[in-house]
């Protein structure tokens, strides 16, 4: 039986963060090459890692958003054009030093509130000030499943979503992501969603030849999507999302795309 069933979640979300946080802390030192960070994120299927020094003290955090920023710098600075300074290649050059943390004994609602207030998808979990894990929106979503929250998808979905046509270029998708500062855009064929293009695909695309990046985004988009009617209860959506390891739920009504719900949107329910 999973550990998280040891505590029965109530609507006040008072269960301690430690019951939902990751039990393993993946962290890197400041001198880690960015290529190694990218490899770690891909291998562990995570979107960020804390940065710690030799004493285990928290110094920052680096995420796919930071890697995408570097990818765009490289794309906008072709080798034929002299650079004023070399592109960043170490964690210390791109990491964010202001890290939002939560104590492992704090109630889950505190973690959800911090994620919403700072518009972030993860918090570093601490024990007496020392980082011991991470709690992400995906970790916190398990509480919604356990509590059998039956509110409809329409309660939490975002209607202001970005879409890109399946025939638009990979470069266009990369710049759309970067300009809007979002984690993913929905790829549509006409009005129907057929996939998503996320920061993961964008970071990988930086290694592609410029000629290939001019080809349709369908070439590299992810097909890992779930479509649900706006009336679908949240516990069912969360269960399928966790079971299929899908991070974005596309909301449809009368076979028309009307919204999207990410882990951030689902966790926001705990603060309503």
Name the 3-class secondary structure at 73.
Answer: helix
The mean per-residue pLDDT over the stretch 193-212 comes to 90
Greatest Cα pair distance, the chain, in angstroms, is 60
The boundaries of every CATH 3.10.580.10 domain in the chain are 3-146, 153-271
Map 136-175 to HEC letters: EHHHHHHHHHHCCCCCEHHHCCECCCCEEECCCEHHHHHH
* Predicted pLDDT at 79: 52
More confident residue, 81 or 265: 265
Smallest CA-to-CA distance from 199 within 93, 89, 97, 47 is with 47
Separation CA 60–CA 96 (nearest Å): 5
Strands 248-253 vs 226-229: parallel, antiparallel or unpaired: parallel
Q: Is the pLDDT of residue 11 over 80?
A: no
Q: Tokens 């695909």 identify what position?
A: 201
pLDDT category of residue 13 using cuts at 50, 70 and 90 = very high
Q: Is the pLDDT of residue 7 over 50?
A: no
Minimum mean pLDDT among 3-12, 223-232, 255-264: which range?
Answer: 3-12
Q: Tokens 């207030």 identify what position?
A: 117
Separation CA 266–CA 251 (nearest Å): 13
Separation CA 202–CA 180 (nearest Å): 14
pLDDT category of residue 207 using cuts at 50, 70 and 90 = confident
Domain at 153-271: CATH architecture: Roll (3.10)
Helix 170-180 vs helix 64-75: crossing angle, to nearest 10: 120
Q: Is the pLDDT of residue 166 over 60?
A: yes
Topology of the domain comprising 3-146: CBS-domain (3.10.580)
């Amino acid at each position: 039986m999973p550990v998280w069933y040891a505590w029965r979640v109530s609507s006040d979300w008072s269960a301690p963060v430690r019951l939902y946080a990751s039990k393993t802390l993946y962290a890197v030192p400041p001198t880690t090459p960015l290529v190694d960070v990218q490899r770690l994120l891909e291998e562990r299927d995570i979107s960020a890692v804390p940065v710690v020094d030799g004493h285990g003290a928290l110094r920052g955090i680096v995420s796919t958003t930071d890697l995408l920023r570097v990818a765009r710098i490289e794309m906008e600075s072709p080798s034929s054009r002299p650079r004023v300074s070399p592109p960043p290649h170490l964690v210390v050059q791109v990491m964010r030093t202001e890290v939002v943390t939560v104590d492992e004994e704090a109630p889950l609602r505190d973690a959800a509130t911090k994620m919403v207030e700072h518009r972030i998808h993860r918090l570093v979990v601490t024990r007496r000030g020392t980082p011991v894990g991470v709690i992400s929106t995906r970790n916190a979503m398990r509480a919604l499943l356990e509590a059998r929250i039956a509110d409809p998808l329409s309660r939490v979905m975002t209607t202001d979503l970005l879409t890109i046509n399946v025939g638009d270029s990979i470069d266009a998708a990369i710049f759309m992501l970067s300009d809007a500062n979002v984690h993913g855009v929905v790829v549509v064929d006409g009005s129907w969603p057929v996939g998503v293009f996320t920061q993961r695909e964008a970071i990988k695309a930086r290694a592609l030849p410029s000629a290939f990046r001019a080809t349709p985004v369908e070439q590299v988009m992810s097909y890992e999507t779930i479509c649900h009617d706006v009336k679908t209860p949240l516990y069912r959506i969360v269960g399928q999302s966790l079971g299929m390891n899908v991070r974005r739920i596309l909301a449809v009504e009368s076979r028309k795309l009307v919204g999207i719900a990410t882990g951030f949107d689902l966790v926001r329910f705990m603060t309503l």
